[in-house]
Amino acid sequence: MLRCRKPRCEAGKRRVTPTGPPCRSATRKLRSGAPGLTAHPGGDRRRWESRIFGGTYGDAGARERPVYGALDFRRQVVGASGPLYSRCELRGGGNSRPAPPQRYLARRAGFEGSHMAGRNGRTVRDLRRANRTVVLQRLYFDGPLSRFELGPVTGLSSGSVSNVVADLVTDGLIEEAGSVDSDGGRPRTLLRVAPASGHMIGVDVGETRVRVELFDLALTELARTERPLTPHRYDVEVIAGHIRHGISEVLADTGIAPERLLGVGIGVPGIVEHTADRGAVVHGQTIGWDAVPLEALLRAGSQLPDAVPYFIDNGAKTLGQAEMWFGGGRGARNAVVALFGSGVGACLVTPEVEHGRAVEWGHLTVRVRGRRCRCGALGCLEAYAGAGSLIDRWREAGGRSPEDTDEETGLTALLAAAHPIEGTAADPVALAVLEETAEYLGAGLSDLINLFQPERILIGGWAGLQLGARFLPAVRRHAASYALRHPAEKVTIEMGRLGPDAVTVGAAILPLADFFARGGRRAEPEPAGPAPAWRAAVRGRAPR
Read off the CATH number of the domain in which 294 is found: 3.30.420.40
Q: What is the pLDDT of residue 423?
A: 73
Q: Rounded mean pLDDT of 392-396? A: 90
- Cα 114 to Cα 56, 76, 157, 524, 539: the distances in Å are 30, 9, 21, 20, 7
Displacement of CA 5 from its chain's centroid (Å):
59
> What angle do the packed helices 387-396 and 428-452 form, to 10 degrees?
140
Q: Where are the alpha helices (DSSP H) in 64-211?
A: 124-142, 147-154, 158-170
Are 395 and 369 in the same domain? yes
**In this model, does residue 253 exceed pLDDT 70?**
yes
Are 60 and 13 in the same domain? yes
Residue, of 544 and 195, whose pLDDT is higher:
195
pLDDT band at 84 (very low <50, low <70, confident <90, very high): very low
What are the tens digits of pLDDT across the range 319-357? 998 998 888 888 888 899 999 988 899 998 876 666 678
**In this model, does residue 522 exceed pLDDT 60?**
yes
Q: Tell me which of 186-190, 253-257, 258-262 is least confident.
A: 186-190
For every residue of 456-485, DSSP letters joined together read: EEEEESHHHHHHHHHHHHHHHHHHHHHS-H
Structural domain that includes position 65: 1-103
Q: 478 in a domain, yes or no?
A: yes
Q: How many domains does the chain have?
A: 4
Are 59 and 28 in the same domain? yes
Type of residue found at 486: H
Q: 322 in a domain, yes or no?
A: no
Average pLDDT, the chain: 77
Q: Rounded mean pLDDT of 139-158? A: 90
What are the tens digits of pLDDT across the range 459-508? 999 999 888 888 899 999 999 999 999 999 999 999 999 888 899 999 99
Question: Residue 460 and residue 12: Cα distance in Å, rounded?
Answer: 81
Q: What is the pLDDT of residue 469?
A: 81
Q: What is the pLDDT of residue 256?
A: 94
Q: Are 90 and 43 in contact (CB under 8 A)?
A: yes
Q: Tell me which of 7-21, 184-198, 282-296, 374-388 is least confident.
A: 7-21
Q: Tell me which of 9-23, 383-397, 468-482 is least confident.
A: 9-23
Are 425 and 473 in the same domain? yes
Q: 527 in a domain, yes or no?
A: yes
Are 308 and 397 in the same domain? no
Which residue, among 536, 530, 533, has the nearest Cα to 279 in the 3D structure?
530
Q: 366 in a domain, yes or no?
A: yes
Q: Rounded mean pLDDT of 403-419? A: 84
What are the tens digits of pLDDT across the range 211-228? 999 999 999 999 999 998
Our CA dihedral for 322, 328, 333, 336, rounded to 10 degrees, sits at: -80
Q: Rounded mean pLDDT of 37-66? A: 42
**In this model, does residue 540 exceed pLDDT 90?**
no
Are 363 and 413 in the same domain? yes
Q: Rounded mean pLDDT of 45-55? A: 39
Residue, of 37 and 406, whose pLDDT is higher:
406
Are 271 and 289 in the same domain? yes
Residue 335, classified by CB atoms within 10 Å of its CB into exposed (0-12), middle (13-18) or buried (19+), is: buried
Residue 346, classified by CB atoms within 10 Å of its CB into exposed (0-12), middle (13-18) or buried (19+), is: buried
Are 342 and 490 in the same domain? yes
